[in-house]
Amino acid sequence: MAVEDSKIEVLSPASGSFSSCENWYRFTTADNYWFKWRFCALSGLLGKGYQWGRVLDIGCGSGIVGLQIKKLYGCAVEGCDLNLSALETASAGMEKVYYYNIHDRVPKFEKSFSTILLLDVLEHVEDPEHFLESAAFHLKDGGRLIINVPAIKSLYCRYDRLAGHIKRYDLACLGRELDSAGFRIDGYRYWGFLLIPLAFLRKLIVGFLREEKVIEAGFQPSPGFMDKILQALRVIECGMLKRPPAGTSLMVVARKKL
């Protein structure tokens, strides 16, 4: 793809596609049970009356959450990523998309956004405090940062490693990183409580698979019976567990300190 011919605004030196999650992007669709479950957790945590303001989705990938937000809240979302092929897909439904490394801290973005999304991004970052400080550069004083990360450290396995995850989180660990970068936690929730047994099963199974099959087997269920089970678990948890006691993921709303 020629970057200059696309709808992507290039704000950082284009050095090709950031590919550590390339295999994962192949299975990201709006119909996937996991994306629906994550957005249920997000809308449940924020409430349907949340005022987004100007929104930046850092690590937006193919833009699925932007489309979900637009559909439920009627709010346009801007996104940035370092994966060109994912951004080309995202540009079809989002307000604007940028090939942009947030560490470049482009002046026009300083304190420009009321809400920033970091959904399943931070676990890929070797220096999360520095990354959060760069995110804070883009956020208005008092603005909100919404983070989703994989949870339960004992679930870390070959799937995480091949997906580019450096670690899995708990609330205390994420809280320390946020505090160090100038944020305070306003609210949080775990989600994927009903996925915990399946995640432990996945940890056992992926050890026996060929490397190229791990992401597909670990994230994208086979169509049919297994997908129906996962969709049913999603509906049950979203309908009955407003505040799960634990989960395979942790979602946090943090506010930039004044």
Render pLDDT for 81-113 as a digit per residue (tens, 0 to 9). 998 888 888 877 788 999 999 999 999 999 999
Euclidean distance between CA atoms 198 and 183, whole angstroms = 33
**Is 253 in contact with 184 (CB distance < 8 Å)?**
no
- With a CB cutoff of 8 Å and minimum separation 6, the contacts of 208 are none
State pLDDT tens for residues 1-38: 444 445 889 999 876 544 445 555 666 678 889 999 99
Which is higher by pLDDT, 94 or 131? 131
Q: Tokens 């407003």 sit at which residue?
A: 242
Supply the pLDDT for residue 193. 98
- pLDDT of residue 206 exceeding 70, the answer is yes
**For residue 234, what is the enclosing H or E element?**
helix 225-240
Mean pLDDT, the chain, integer: 90
State pLDDT tens for residues 221-240: 666 788 899 999 999 999 99
Closest by CA to 184, choosing from 149, 143, 130, is 143
Q: pTM for the full model?
A: 0.92
First to last CA, the chain: 42
Supply the pLDDT for residue 24. 57
Which is higher by pLDDT, 24 or 121? 121
Which is higher by pLDDT, 211 or 158? 158
- Domain architecture of the chain: domains with CATH: 3-256 (3.40.50.150)
State pLDDT tens for residues 147-158: 999 999 999 999
State pLDDT tens for residues 66-82: 999 999 999 999 999 99
Supply the pLDDT for residue 191. 98
**Is 224 in contact with 177 (CB distance < 8 Å)?**
no
Query: What is the DSSP code string of 161-214?
Result: HHTT----B-HHHHHHHHHHTTEEEEEEEEE-GGGHHHHHHHHHHGGGS-HHHH
pLDDT above 70 coverage of the chain, percent: 90
b (16+ CB within 10 A) / e for 149-170: bbbbeebbbbbbebbbbeebbe
Euclidean distance between CA atoms 55 and 38, whole angstroms = 18
Helix, strand, coil in percent for the chain, rounding step 5: 45, 20, 35
